[in-house]
Amino acid sequence: ETHGISFRIQISVKELLDTDVLLKLLFHLPVNYPSTLPDISVNSDQLTRAQCMDVKDKLLEQAKKHLSEPMVHDLILWVQQHLKDVIKQSATVCNEKTTLSKGAEDGIWMLLLHLDHMRAKAKYVKTVEKWASNLRLTGRLMFMGKIILILLQGDRSSVKEYLILQKTSKVDVDSSGKKCKEKMMSVLCETEVQSQHKRFQTFEVKEYSTPEELQKEFETSGLKTLFSEFVPPLLK
């Protein structure tokens, strides 16, 4: 009633060289859908991150054409028919990029997470600090009002390991005080650190009293776009 609904759909698309591409599409339908566009996330082990982003952008373009009418089924049909064209278009761009970023798999990655709440805050914070230290990750654990964000930078393998720990460990307590896993976490962004992004030297826990303070933290680290894309929807 207040957050809308999220669901994942997996589809298999016959692709270039006649191999099947398995697409994992995550749709979040806001409360006032379909008069508001859904949020869409695209993942596939057979596509690069850039190609997944291109597919997402094209799906959102299509979604705008269906505004005010149910559209998920139409979007799935569209991606099944047009995936090949989208990949061909992004392949030319991608080839230029890969020559620049050889070894991207081992490069420095960045992860932005949103947590819904922390009941056992002191213990939770200690756990996050310990994981970041053990995995040699830098960044920020940020509190602003009810908003809790974790921003991490480090080796891609360490970032992935952190995500597994965050999802599978008993980090908090439920309403009855029993230890529980984190079920209300969302991954807002996972991407390679670019040249305009400043590297965090340490991992720090910070509290901010206004959205402007939080925004400044992102901007001084060259992450203005990251802030404007993912944080304002959380402030509403």
- Tens of pLDDT, residues 159-212: 988 988 888 888 888 888 898 888 888 899 988 888 778 889 999 999 999 999
Q: What is the C-alpha to C-alpha distance for residues 86 and 94, in angstroms, rounded to an integer?
A: 12
Domains 5-93 and 108-234 share a fold: no
Position 77 scores a pLDDT of 93
Phi/psi at 64 (nearest 5 deg)?
-60, -30
Q: What is the mean pLDDT of the chain?
A: 86
pLDDT in tens, 120-164: 899 999 999 999 998 999 999 999 999 999 999 999 888 988 988
pLDDT of residue 95: 47
Q: How confident is the model at residue 51 (pLDDT cuts 50, 70, 90)?
A: confident
Indicate the CATH number for domain 108-234.
3.30.70.100
21-25, 100-104, 231-235: least confidently modelled range: 100-104
Amino acid found at 66:
H
pLDDT at 151: 96
So what's the pLDDT on residue 107? 72
Single-letter residue type at 112: L
Entry pTM: 0.56
Q: pLDDT value at position 162?
A: 92
∠ Cα 23 223 121 (to 5°): 85
pLDDT at 4: 84
- Structural domain spans, the chain: 5-93, 108-234
In CATH, the architecture of 5-93 is Roll (3.10)
Residue 49 · residue 12 · CB < 8 Å: no
Starting from the edge strand earliest in sequence, which strands make up the sheet with 5-14, in order? 5-14, 20-29, 39-43
Average pLDDT over residues 84-95: 65
